[in-house]
Chains A and B, each alone.
Chain A
Amino acid sequence: MRQSKLALTWGYIALFAISALFIIPFVWLVRSSLMDLSQIFTMPPQWIPKPFHWDNFHRALTVLPFGTFFANTFIIVVGVLVGTVATSSIAAFGFSRIRWKGRDAVFGILMSSMMLPAAVTLIPSFLGWKTIGFYDTYYPLVVPSFFGGGIFNIFLLRQFYLTIPKDFDEAAFVDGATYFQIYARIIMPLSRSVLIVVSLFSFLGTWNDFMGPLIYLKSDRLFTLALGLQMFQGTYNAQWDLLMAASAAVVLPCVVVFLVGQRYFLEGITLTGLKG
């Protein structure tokens, strides 16, 4: 498509302006996290910390046991990742590579649960976990991922599995392979990139989850980073330097994971937009 010079120039101006708006909050986060309060309160605001207060990070992360919060979050993330990758790929295989009566109807019913507001299942789920004695443990946060790992992930994987030629399975069948062998030796190795997408989405979803830990965790020692940060804000609500340092420390792993896996992310979101 041809574009006039003028249109392109305006396009650049608009893109630079929008990018600036999107990036300024990050810049503000980082500069505030490296200043002491007297610099933060200077008017008009300064952009560059002078001097750089790297000790903010040390102070922010030691006043509360952020090491523990980090370890807790990590444990939950690993549990959810294992459950999600294992069971969503198995289920997606059953919904795409095996032909059985009622398959697409069952899949459609499961898909419809994506539209269900979490609030509807929240209270009975909470009461159920509490009744069997798992309130204030990680079970309610991890165990559900071992049951299919979320219909969204099954959907993503199924979309991908449907693009793999049927001949692969049929040839293996002729050689006497079972469904399990086809899943493990043919489909899994081919779906490396889409499994990375699923892992990245689950990592971020779990790392960022706030409502789940808020409802199921009571003891401080079990808190995740998201809960810890919120608790920090309640205690040190005027200490913007420390608050920003703690926030930056929570954001950083996500940014690193995103930048490393960026290519997969964009592919994954694009897969979402395809008609199922």
Chain B
Amino acid sequence: MRKGLFYGLLFTSPAILGFLIFTLGPMIASLALSLTDYNVFKAHASFVGFDNYARLFSGEDDLFYKSLGITFYFVLLRVPAVIIISFVVALLLNMNVKGRAVFRTIIYLPSIVPAVASAMIWMWLLNPDLGLINSALRWLHLPTSNWLYSENSVIPSVVLTTLWGIGGTVIIFLAGLSGIPKQYYEAIEVDGGGWYSKLRHITLPMVTPTIFFNTIMAIIGSFQVFNEAYILTQGGPNNRSLFYVFYLWRTAFRDTEMGYASALAWVLFLIILFFTFIVFRTSKSWVYYEGGERA
């Protein structure tokens, strides 16, 4: 197989070019832009050094810290919720139940619903006066909530709406669970262990690579939440759901401050990188790889 390098580069050239044009190039450009005061209405951008970053961190822009805090709160609520609920649902689906395929379809189906449509459905379900959820709560004589319309409940409400779409995470957990050899459980049964020892000593250690993968994906996705902010709340009420990427979008495309928004983008990139790195680093102590090999 001669000329491997030539043909290899030829076949992969669309992807390599795509990476250079649509990823690496824009990445460098956005770093450069973040050092300018580029505004669409100005004729040209002027170099301002680290002024944009100084403005971000000095506290002059209080919406930056606000949106950062809101987004952290969202990530902190959503990531554990997604992981724990998906794992429990996957455990249930992994039981020897009849009609597994039907349950699986029902649980996966919401994750293919377009974000806009899903937002419409949830706005209607969570409508404080006429929505199904408050009606059900009133019927049960439980306290109701203003959900998306109240400052304190808006973030948990957005988390709730995104939990409808955990189907993909559940399926990945299910794949991880089905890869656990049956003999391991049989060994525990021989020793007289119950479901708790099975979960604690076999299932949990064996699915740690899947937990690891899903956690990274959930962190990356949660930091970048945009559609929900745009469609459900427009950042309201009173900026209490001013998610970071929504604030970035507003700065770039409504206030047309492209330079400053690029600095916002780079800060987000570094934050995500930092958290991904932390999870990777800690993974050595909690992710189990078969054969003793650790990543």
Q: Which of B5-29 contact A (CB under 8 A)?
A: 5, 7-12, 14-19, 21-23, 25-27, 29
**Which residue on B lies nearest to A28, using beta carbons?**
B132
**Which residue on A lies nearest to B221, using beta carbons?**
A117
In the complex, chain B residues whose CB is within 8 Å of the CB of A154? 15
Q: Min CB distance, A155 to chain B, in Å?
A: 11
- Contact mask for chain B residues 243-285; partner A; CB cutoff 8 A; 1 contact, 0 none: 0010011001100001001101110110011001000000000
A19/B107 contact (C-beta < 8 A), A25-B125, A98-B11, A273-B210 known: yes
Asked if A270 and B175 sit within 8 Å, CB to CB, the answer is yes
Q: Is B130 an interface residue (CB 8 A)?
A: yes
- Which of A51-59, A190-198, A210-218 is the contact stretch? A210-218
Per the bound structure, the CA–CA distance linking A106 and B8 in Å amounts to: 11
Asked if B171 and A251 sit within 8 Å, CB to CB, the answer is no
A90/B14 contact (C-beta < 8 A), A25-B110, A41-B130 known: yes
Q: Is B66 an interface residue (CB 8 A)?
A: no
Asked if B272 and A115 sit within 8 Å, CB to CB, the answer is yes
Q: Is A63 an interface residue (CB 8 A)?
A: no
In the complex, chain B residues whose CB is within 8 Å of the CB of A274? 175
Interface residues of B, dominant DSSP: helix
- Contact mask for chain A residues 90-108; partner B; CB cutoff 8 A; 1 contact, 0 none: 1101110011110100100
Per the bound structure, the CA–CA distance linking A229 and B44 in Å amounts to: 36
Asked if B11 and A91 sit within 8 Å, CB to CB, the answer is yes
Asked if B116 and A226 sit within 8 Å, CB to CB, the answer is yes
Per the bound structure, the CA–CA distance linking A258 and B185 in Å amounts to: 35
In the complex, chain A residues whose CB is within 8 Å of the CB of B245? 117, 119
A120/B26 contact (C-beta < 8 A), A179-B7, A254-B113, A273-B172 known: yes
Q: Min CB distance, A236 to chain B, in Å?
A: 11
Asked if B230 and A273 sit within 8 Å, CB to CB, the answer is no
Q: Min CB distance, A160 to chain B, in Å?
A: 15
Q: Which 9 A-B pairs have the closest CB atoms?
A: A147-B18, A94-B11, A100-B8, A148-B15, A124-B29, A94-B12, A91-B15, A121-B26, A124-B26
Residues of B within 8 A of A (CB): 1, 4-5, 7-12, 14-19, 21-23, 25-27, 29-30, 33, 89, 92-93, 95-97, 103-110, 112-117, 120-122, 124-125, 127, 130, 132, 135, 139, 164, 168, 171-172, 175-176, 182, 185-186, 189, 195, 209-210, 213, 220, 223-224, 226-227, 230-231, 245, 248-249, 252-253, 258, 261-262, 264-266, 268-269, 272-273, 276
* A-B contact list, 29 entries, CB within 8 Å: A19-B103, A25-B121, A26-B109, A94-B8, A100-B4, A116-B23, A116-B27, A117-B269, A117-B272, A120-B30, A121-B30, A123-B252, A124-B29, A124-B30, A128-B29, A147-B18, A147-B19, A208-B112, A210-B114, A210-B116, A211-B249, A226-B114, A226-B115, A226-B116, A230-B231, A243-B120, A250-B117, A251-B114, A255-B109
Residues of A within 8 A of B (CB): 1-3, 7-8, 11-12, 14-15, 18-19, 22-26, 28-29, 32, 40-41, 43-45, 87-88, 90-91, 93-95, 98-101, 103, 106, 109-110, 113, 115-128, 144, 146-148, 151, 154, 173, 179, 183, 204, 207-208, 210-211, 214-215, 225-227, 229-230, 233, 240, 243-244, 247-248, 250-251, 254-255, 257-259, 262, 265-266, 269-270, 272-275
